[in-house]
Structure 1
Amino acid sequence: MSLRSRLTTAFLVVVLGPVLVGAVFVAAIMSHLADSRGEALADSAVTMVDSTLGTICERIQASAAAVALNYRSGGESNAVEMAELVVDRAVVDGVVFSSLEEAGGAASGRDIGANAPAGAWVDCGETTGQAAAGSIVALGAQAEVQNPDGTIETFSAFRVVDQNFLAAIARAADADLILQDGRGLPIQVGSSDAGRWAFTSAFLPLSIGTASTDVTPMYWTLAAMVTASAACAIGLAAWLSRSTTRPLAELAGAAERVSDGDLDVRVPVHGKDEVANLALAFNRMTAQTQAYVQALTASRDQMRGQLGRLGQTLTATLDLDRILEVILDTAMVTAGAEAGVIMLVDVDDTDQLGQRAGDGNLGIDQPASIRLGEGIIGSIAAAGEPVHGRIVDGKFGEWHRAPTEPIARCMVAVPFRGRKVEEAEHPGRRGTPEDHTAPGAPGHDGGVLGVLVVYNRIAGHDFEAGDVDTLGTFAGQAAVAVENVLLHRQAQRLSLTDPLTGLWNYRFMQTSLRREAERSRRYQRPSALLAIDLDRFKKVNDTYGHPVGDQVLIELARRITGQIREVDLAFRHGGEEFMVLLPETDAAGAEVVAERLGRAVSSRPFKVNDSVGGLELRVTVSLGIAVLGEHADTATGIVAAADEALYAAKAAGRNTWKVAA
């Protein structure tokens, strides 16, 4: 058999075999699904009918019981009033002040609502088999009350079983219904030629009809699709066999030599068909690749001399993500890499590395991430030493690639370290989003900051030892850039916090209030401001001295921040006065917070001067509440309103809170 025949046969077997098997499988599935859907619709309709009738019977029984209960507690007038109420609200059609047997025979006693129909009634407490023979005209229930003279009063509530009654049940169940009660012309709702019928005898003997699915058109469509697929497969197989029987062996051999690094190879060109064009393109590609590799090798040496100037330029900006992107792009060009990442240690989890910059095809859907000591990158970062080499079957030496790491054939990875900053702890400090942009901050011996990794050298070559030295320079510049950004953010944060309590200072309070006032006006959303002042704090300073007073302020800041949300902002307004901004909070919510803050301060004594034996001081606070959009619309106005409420709390005896007028 010729190559062309073998290709055609193999293609048809591979393509048409699964198509035919799939067609049979799909046809079986469609038939099964149609049957299953019909059964499910029928079961669902029966369940819905039974449930609806059960609910109606429960309401009838409850109505009869309610009328009887009102008769027992208030006499016939109360019973009549309750009966009229349940009829007016369409709970039942009518109520008969008589026994069920009497009502079923004819209207007797006193009727409320519709007249009791003559005929067979179904007692909601019994089954249809126990109901009277003949046409069913109503669903009913009764309740009895014994009078003081020993007589029995019976109250019967009912719903008339007619065309409208069955129509409501049919709509709820989305089905056709026929009442099988033996009458000559049964009551019917919907069509009598439904695809599937079921029967229920709960409460009423009903035949329930649901639609069935006709899958015959689907079978014809499936057959047409299989036929069209077979025709297309035969034509495609013939075309492929004709277009691929030229000198493929020569082209495959040349490609193998190129993969081994021989860019001098050329493919002989035979004729002018598609394979010949492919051979010409292959020859052009190898020539251009050879020239590119030579130029890249020359430019790499030149670029290594420019790394110092590049580092100085990068450290002049504070946009960390932009800096890392520039460093990564330059590193990839210098090393001739197809892809790369820069991963930094997470500030909230110092054992976690996350991608902050990436370029090229990394072979993963999500940004790269890995824990220190795990996978390839995590192990390199934990070891702290640069490496380079090939990745074979997901292994780099003794390390195995993790699913969240890039996929590559070779790599260079260089960890970089930073210096750790020594920063004072403040009880009142709350983090801001800017605190979580990068790990660590400068100081001394801060451990690994991150890893710079490039993958897959262009033209399939392996990375060299010189590439490790080159990337080491880039990694050093990345560490300096991270440290500079963190130093700037640390200085900016210190300029906005109170040095004693660690809360935000007056300057940041003004900025925050203006921003919140603008947001409140734009979106018409409330935000509350609490003004907090220590009661008789001057007496504490005069009695125990200012150092003790400072300890009281620090402890108060700690208790305030312990009672508010992460989104709330606490400020030291000055002296012993503090402010708390509560976004998305109205006056009622602010009152809850004020009450909680007051209890948090007064419930436990403040322990001070522990170094000389310690004192326990009972401290209370007064609080004023004002709401943006309700008491003021500007930053200045809301502060004034909160202070006014605070003075009112002071005047009311302290250790309390007041809302601005």
Structure 2
Amino acid sequence: MNSKNEPRRRRPRRRARLGLRARLSAAFVFVVLIPVLVGCAAVAILVPDVLRSQMGDRLRADRTDVVDVLAARCAQATLGARSLGLWLATVDPQTAVTTTLAETRADFAAVVNGSGAVVAVAGQPPSGNLSALDACGTGSGAATAIAARADLAVSGHPQWSYAVVGWRITPGTAAEIAARLPQRAAVTLAVGTQLVSTTLPRPVAMAELTGGPAGRDVFEVGSRIVAASAPSAGQPYRVLVSEPAPSLDQLFWVFAVVIVVTVIGAIAIGRLLARLISHPVAELSEAAGRVAGGDLDVTIEVRSRDEVGRLAAAFNHMTAELRTYIGELERSHRELRENLERLGSALAHTHNLPGILAVILDTAMASVRAGGGLIALIDSDGVLRVKTVRGVAGIAPEDALPVGAGIVGSVVADGEAVRGLVGEGPGLRPVAGEPRARAVLAVPLRPSGRLAGVLAVYDRQTDDETSVSAAAFSATDERSLIAFAGQASVAVENVLLHQEAQRLSLTDPLTGLWNYRYLIMTLGHEIERATRFRRPLTVLMLDLDRFKQINDRYGHQVGDGVLIELARRMRSAVREVDTVARYGGEEFVVILPETDAAGGARTAERLRHAIRTTPFHVEGLDLAVTASIGVAVFPQHGVAASPLLRAADEALYDAKESGRDTWRLARATDDDGPPASPSAAAASPAPEPSEPATAGSASVGPSSAGPSPSGFSAAPSPVVPSALPSPAAPGPPPSPPTPRVVIVPELDESPSSKGSDS
């Protein structure tokens, strides 16, 4: 316990500030002492004029409130009419007026066509022609409603004339407005000298309406003080607000009241102080409850700069921040929902690479609010090609971009994301052929850890289109796009794997040519097309001569190399629209759309020449390879895939019988019957092997003599000798730079051995 002699600790003196408590104390002194000292004298002299002046000021304030209410309804009606015009652009008229009525809480909303007929109406419009309801009631309809019109023909709705939204003016309108006034003054609304609505008896209201002197806004009529206003912009009515004038007889009672107040002042001041303190707090509590209930538009009027005023300002700032945050959150949820819808749509295009790339790009642009973008993938040749483009100029799909140069190329080379303003930093300098933009964000696509391409977006969309820096992407955008690119890469990889699997199911794994399954499908389609449009179609069947000897002598690895090289030469010797397929073993088929017999003969000769002219270089060996070709034409040799292939096979058999390294045209079928059967074709006489027939022989070729259409001899002598030198034959070994040339020998067997060794 402290000693009595111990000096008291002084509290630090607070900085003097006239706060709420000080003002309450000053008000207490003023209310208690001043009325006692000067009240009696002042009352007798000043009170009558003061009361009238105060009443006039109060009535002016009430009149202003009434005018503001009417002007606010006029403004709401104007906005509602415009909103109705906007709704008409997306929904039907009845839905538009119903929605507008719910939004504005007006009494009625309507759409009128050019002939004055009401197209759609909601609520209860006043009786009579709606065209009388001019802008905020300044027309002849002001006595019945305060409304606004929007010209729909000017707004892009030529099928309608105008939209009208408003509130009906009824005898009870004045009472509704008067209920909002703090003193419940009488309210009268008039148009000229016509009473529209009033809370007074009609004779009293007419006396106030016609009895006021010109040029004064506050005046006395009888025993009432009236504050009047003329119609103004946005407010079409003459407004009169009145109260009974204060009675001077009551002044005598004022003295008694002052004495009583002085006596009970202490009690009254205490309660008054409590009220003054609790009222702002209650207002804050009510506002906070409204915010908790979801009303983020509530604000508190800042009436002072003291503690309560600062608290109100802080509350308003908090609600503004909440509105911003909730708005951003709703936008984020909306974008998330849209992205989910896009991803759901992508599931329908899972195996369609252009479709899923378009969905990925659209989703990426939406997630970061980009104005444009592209996706570029590295193809099988290592070339970076644009696959999908949105919203940027200077580039198109399938354009090639250099790897290691420019913005997109640097992402491929470095494998790192790039973000910033174009031209302002490492990796941000574009090259010729890249999109023209102000800002860029590019991220790599890495399915399964390997670099497959680039996803790039350009120019973030903002309200300030003139600011270059505003178009730049943020670090948050970069993180979001990198995360999205990871998921997108998996989707792209799945599509590519599906396409590769589909391709492998239709291609020969050794030669890369189409397989038998694809051949039959394509031939069926081409026959259907040729039948429908009555166009020619030719089928070539090609078989390597003596291929079995190559396999037997040098092994299947060399044989496979020969087949691969043969496929390459065949592809290079035909058109892009032609189909080259491996029929089986060493047999191949070529489908030639829009090609007649002469064109098929030229192609067969071109293929034969491409095969025999240059030896096949395989496994260090140079092999002289030849082929025999059968030619069949639709519809002369068959009207379906099976007979057409059978005719080509029989023609190939004829070419083998004719000594190999040649081509033969299938024998013609009967005009009214199907193609000749293999037995019938075999029964036809073939040229003697000892006297090689030319491709132009009458029975099997397109012409009877002379060179083939390609300029080469149709059936030249084979370029192979009759026998291969023995491996033990003497002679100097070849020098190392010279490749070893191997000539495939001709076996001593009949030409009919096609089925065994070709």
Larger Rg: 2
* Range of TM-score over shorter length: 0.3 to 0.5
TM-score by length of 2: 0.40
TM-score by length of 1: 0.45
Q: RCO greater where, 1 or 2, for CA within 8 Å and sep 6 or more?
A: 1
